[in-house]
Amino acid sequence: MKKALLPILILTSPLWSAPNNKTSETNLPKVTTLIPQLLPRNPITKPPPGAVQKQLEAFFSGVQAGKVDESFKALVANNPALSDPAAVPEFVGNIRKGLEVFGPLQGQELYDNRNVGSRVLYITYISFHPKKPLRWQFVYYSPVGTDWKLLNLRFDDTIEQSLI
């Protein structure tokens, strides 16, 4: 059975490592620096704070409408480290490749919303596609006196492996 593993897309500058030259059967670069994380057995499905929820809904709506570039840029706009003009095309390209491999976004749902202390959120969404669901993980941080800002985004197609 052929497996099509998407690269894990990480948007934090210190953690981002360029994919190696090896490719999977889907011709997508493999990122081998991360171990797939397990999905929590007891997910917390309370909605994230209003501003974060609005931002994520706008992102997924834009992706579903085929506006990947604009949606991604809007998502990372409040974090200069993630919105570096030199890096955006690669990140957007990886999202587009995922949509090409698994089909267009047909919807998404919040799977888990975890507080890590009082100022960090670790949010997992599952998106639905004709061939296979994808897992999206977002990390938000709220510095003292400011709004929530996206620190990290990753997505992959390892849902069934992460349930084991």
What pLDDT digit, counting tens, does each position of 1-21 carry? 444 544 444 443 333 333 333
More confident residue, 142 or 22: 142
* 9 vs 63 pLDDT, higher one: 63
Residue 91 has a pLDDT of 86
Under 8 Å between Cβ of 67 and 96: no
Q: Which residues pair with 107 in a beta bridge?
A: 128
Beta bridge partners of residue 26, listed in sequence order: none
pLDDT band (50, 70, 90) for residue 163: low
- If you average pLDDT over residues 102-111, what whole number do you get? 95
Provide DSSP, 73-84.
HHHHTT-TTT--
* Nearest to 12, CA basis, from 108, 120, 147: 120
pLDDT tier at 22 (50, 70, 90 boundaries)? very low
Would the pLDDT of 32 be above 50?
no
- pLDDT per residue over 126-149, tens digit each? 999 999 999 999 999 998 888 899
Across the chain, mean pLDDT equals 79
CA separation for the pair 66, 96 (Å, rounded): 9
Both tokens assigned to 128: 């639905």
Contact status, residue 157 vs residue 135, Cβ threshold 8 Å: yes
59 contacts: CB under 8 Å, gap ≥ 6 = 71, 72, 74, 75
- 76 has a pLDDT exceeding 80: yes
Question: Who contacts 101 (Cβ-Cβ below 8 Å, separation ≥6)?
Answer: 4, 6, 26, 28, 131
HSE-up of 72 (CA within 13 Å, CB side)? 24
Strand 134-141: give its sheet, edge to edge.
107-115, 120-128, 134-141, 149-156
What amino acid is encoded at 103 in this protein?
G
